[in-house]
A and B are shown apart, each in its own frame.
Chain A
Amino acid sequence: MTKPRTYQTPAIVIKKTKLGEADRILTFYTPELGKIQGVAKAVRKPKSKLSGHLEMLSYSLVTLARGKNIDTVIGSQTLKPFLAIKNDLDLLSCALYITEMVNQFTPPETEDPQIFNLLAFTLEQLPEAADRELLLRYFELHLLRQAGYRPELEKCVMCRKTLETVTNSFAPSAGGMLCPSCQRLGRHYGYLLSPDGLGVMRFIQGGDWESISVVPVDCSTIAEIERLIRSYIRHLLEKEIKSALWLDSLKLESSQSGKV
């Protein structure tokens, strides 16, 4: 049986690139098709009917027509506009980081509804979260797990012994924690991680957002975990997540202006 010529799917726009005079190639993340691409014709013209429904972060119901090389977007209707995100610089920057992470950690055309749910859920929670940084760590650890890179936090990755409540270290190249004696062997570069930090990481990795969001976490602990996860991501992708650098520069500026 031949596939129908057009198909419809809910989708979140996670990347866009310009094409030709007025077109764009869009990368969508969808619940049932995974990461797909489509070309949207003439969306850079002001009179385009579709452009408002196909901007970055749009959660829309899109209709695509199958093409030889790439599918063409022929219809789009916004499902969730995420207005609160688009009107705030910090929220928008976090949201762009989230979409870039999803784009980097997912292979094309591989179905994973859980990643879609995580993406949609994180974007929805972003404006409401009391602790935005905690939400980002939750997103990162759960995305890593879903993408097959769940860091090992219970046992030492070398000797397989359960970790004791001392300062252990996190080794990005080994994919998890090292106990102090294995760390001393010096085979992997490890970042020291306090027992508190490890506890919080395990809690985030194992729990759902409803239970995590109500627990107050010290911001220095979150910063400690952020540094570890960032180095782990850098090790996995062999590059930086570009929007993370922008988030850093925003954070730095706001801390500087706070001091003055």
Chain B
Amino acid sequence: MEKTLPQATDAVNRLIQEFSKLPGVGPKSAQRLTYYMLRASVEQTQALADALLSLKQKTQLCSCCFNITDTDVCQICRNPQRNPALVLIVEQPQDILALEHMGIYKGRYHVLHGAISPTEGVGSGDIRLKELIARLSGGGITEVIIGTNPTVEGETTAMYLKRLITPLGLRITRLARGLPFGTELEYADDVTLSRAIEGRQEF
């Protein structure tokens, strides 16, 4: 005989279901979040609901660099202090956050929204490559910095980008790949070590 579960109300079930669709949230976490929201004040709930809605309604992709922005073009592309001749290519908008946190880079960006991944069927047409080439061909850019991840997908994308950009005659550089800060040499892998030696610098 089927066990009858204690019935929660529809509204509660609905929220549990919606929460459990989020990445990394299982049914138990979804339940915990839902019951937390049930106890939260109306203002707090309203603030969350507003934040969620405005995320969809007030954000768009920058027509120049494809970063996520609330105004077109984005703050970075609009900023006259930043060097428009320098473009750093990244895989995801989150990468820009990490780079901006550092605060040293003063050029502009281009977000690909993915990386070429042959085994998952993500090809050159599935990421924002055409837009990049159009932007680079438009003139005013002298150097392209490739900042894709040092994974197989990121490397594939980087090497493909090099092939595409080389005919345009721009300077192409790649973020240095070497030893991460705070780690120990003995654990480094061969690829990292070989690149750390190749890319060594005057001290």
Q: Which residues of A contact B (CB under 8 A)?
A: 15, 20-21, 46-47, 49, 51-53, 55-58, 78, 81, 83, 86, 88-89, 92-93, 96-97, 99-100, 242-243, 245-247, 249
Contacts and interface: CB of A to CB of B under 8 A. Distances in A.
Contact of B191 (A15, A55, A89): A55
A93 B155 contact: no
B182 interface: yes
B56 interface: no
B198 to A, nearest CB: 10
A56 B121 contact: no
B163 A96 contact: no
A158 B116 CA distance: 44
Interface string B151-168: 110011001100100000
A124 to B, nearest CB: 15
Given A83-B190, A89-B163, A49 B118 contact: no
A49 B192 CA distance: 11
Contacts of A100: 118-119
Given A78-B190, A81-B190, A247-B118, A86 B152 contact: yes
B148 to A, nearest CB: 13
A143 to B, nearest CB: 16
Nearest to B120: A242
A83 B189 CA distance: 11
A81 to B, nearest CB: 4
Interface in B161-203: 163, 180, 182-183, 187-192, 194
Contacts of B190: 52, 78, 81, 83
Given A97-B118, A100-B119, A242-B120, 16 more contacts: A15-B119, A21-B24, A55-B151, A55-B152, A78-B189, A81-B189, A86-B155, A89-B159, A93-B156, A96-B118, A96-B119, A100-B118, A242-B121, A245-B118, A246-B123, A249-B124
A81 B191 CA distance: 7
Nearest to B189: A52
18 contacts: A52-B188, A52-B190, A52-B192, A53-B189, A58-B189, A78-B190, A81-B190, A83-B190, A83-B191, A83-B194, A86-B152, A89-B156, A92-B152, A92-B159, A97-B118, A99-B119, A100-B118, A249-B123
Nearest to A53: B189
Contact of B119 (A46, A88, A243, A249): A243
B159 A88 contact: yes
Contacts of B182: 47
B151 A49 contact: no
Nearest to A13: B152
A242 B118 CA distance: 6
Nearest to A250: B160
B187 A49 contact: yes
